[in-house]
């Protein structure tokens, strides 16, 4: 019943903020250049400040300081700008009117930011990886968007809110399919949709180079490790995504060391997303 209700009641499903939709459409228009994109961004002073701050951050700053939105878009590139704006707008959907669910929603956002930050770093280290770090970061940030829909539903069902164990079981069972459904509705890439659907398929098998889902799986694994261990997960040696992302010779200890060495960069990404 819950799955059917979520599909039929559009008010339960989170909506992408208007600015994100406008930017998405503008960037898909082949005629739009950096100045055109900047004009849309500048309609939102807070977003403008974030884009300029991002372009001047340690993650992107190369030489000199940019002071205008159009210069920031040029430095970042239009594709990266689009993914960053979608990431910044995502914060708005992690909301709840119910006091008893606000804490869960905040914890979900914090987890999503951590996974996004680790995903961004791993995307730069993955062997032969063909995806932009900003796309992988966005995938990490929205990989649990299906959980938001279930929590929105729980606001109208006191029985679910009062029974955390039942709510957790529903989330575990439905989050992937619902997340994929929402992201398709938002027009996200098939790679990001797949990451939401399969982000907890720990024993996922595939041939070839790492894809976006692999990176999000490894990022989730490291986030679990950072927050108390891998209880409930397979041993790291059995999570084959690790080898696809970091190389066939990588060991669990080597994987942990990669993340330790990237802590400063992870903190920089988290700072951009977390406020």
**93: Cβ contacts below 8 Å, ≥ 6 apart:** 14, 15, 16, 17, 145, 148
**In Å, how far are 44, 146, 183, 218 from 190, measured between CA atoms?**
28, 16, 9, 19
Is residue 102's pLDDT more than 90?
no
Percent of the chain at pLDDT exceeding 90: 48
**235-257 burial, b for 16+ CB within 10 Å, e for fewer?**
ebeebbbbbbbbeeebeeeebee
| 145, 182 Cβ separation under 8 angstroms | yes
pLDDT of residue 5: 67
**In Å, how far are 97, 212, 233 from 105, measured between CA atoms?**
10, 24, 23
Mean local confidence (pLDDT), 194-213: 93
pLDDT of residue 7: 66
Mean local confidence (pLDDT), 20-28: 77
pLDDT of residue 3: 65
> Which segment of 9-23, 109-123, 206-220, 236-250 scores lowest on mean pLDDT?
9-23
Cα gap 75→229, rounded to integer Å: 39
| 192, 212 Cβ separation under 8 angstroms | yes
Positive or negative, the CA dihedral 119, 125, 127, 129 is positive
Neighbours of 190 (CB within 10 A): 11
Burial class (CB in 10 A: 0-12, 13-18, 19+), 228: exposed
For residue 137, what pLDDT band results from cuts at 50, 70 and 90? Answer: very high
For residue 21, what pLDDT band results from cuts at 50, 70 and 90? Answer: confident
pLDDT in tens, 41-93: 898 999 999 999 999 999 987 778 999 999 999 999 988 998 999 999 888 88
Cα gap 78→221, rounded to integer Å: 31
Pick the closest to residue 112 from 79, 78, 151 (CA basis).
Answer: 151
Mean local confidence (pLDDT), 168-190: 89
pLDDT in tens, 152-177: 887 777 777 677 788 888 888 889 99
For residue 1, what pLDDT band results from cuts at 50, 70 and 90? Answer: low
Cα gap 178→168, rounded to integer Å: 15
**H or E segment to which residue 229 belongs:** none
Cα gap 149→125, rounded to integer Å: 33
Can you tell me whether residue 163 is helix, strand or coil?
coil
**238: Cβ contacts below 8 Å, ≥ 6 apart:** 202, 203
For the chain, domain boundaries:
2-274
Question: Which tops the pLDDT comparison, 35 or 8?
Answer: 35
- Mean per-residue pLDDT over the chain, rounded: 87
CATH number of 2-274: 1.10.3210.10
């Amino acid at each position: 019943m819950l799955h059917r209700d979520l599909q039929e009641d559009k008010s339960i499903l989170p909506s992408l903020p208007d600015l994100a939709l406008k930017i998405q459409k503008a960037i898909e228009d082949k005629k739009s250049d950096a100045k055109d994109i900047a004009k849309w961004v500048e309609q939102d002073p807070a977003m403008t400040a974030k884009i300029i701050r991002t372009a001047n951050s340690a993650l992107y700053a190369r030489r000199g300081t940019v002071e205008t939105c159009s210069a920031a878009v040029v430095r970042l590139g239009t594709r990266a700008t689009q993914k960053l704006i979608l990431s910044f707008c995502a914060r708005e959907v992690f909301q709840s009117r119910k006091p008893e669910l606000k804490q869960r929603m905040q914890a979900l956002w914090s987890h999503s930011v951590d996974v996004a930050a680790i995903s961004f770093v791993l995307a730069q280290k993955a062997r032969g990886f063909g995806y932009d770090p900003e796309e992988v970061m966005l995938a990490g940030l929205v990989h649990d968007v299906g959980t938001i829909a279930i929590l929105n539903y729980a606001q109208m069902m006191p029985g679910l809110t009062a029974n955390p164990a039942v709510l957790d079981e529903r989330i575990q069972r439905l989050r992937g399919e619902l997340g994929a459904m929402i992201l398709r509705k938002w027009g996200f890439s098939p790679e990001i949709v797949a990451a939401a659907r399969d982000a907890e398929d720990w024993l996922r098998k595939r041939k070839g180079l790492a894809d976006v889902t692999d990176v999000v799986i490894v990022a989730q694994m490291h986030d679990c490790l950072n927050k108390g261990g891998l209880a409930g997960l397979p041993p790291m040696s059995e999570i084959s995504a690790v080898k696809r992302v970091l190389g066939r010779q990588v060991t669990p200890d080597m994987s942990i060391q990669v993340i330790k060495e990237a802590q400063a960069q992870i903190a920089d990404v988290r700072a951009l997303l977390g406020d």
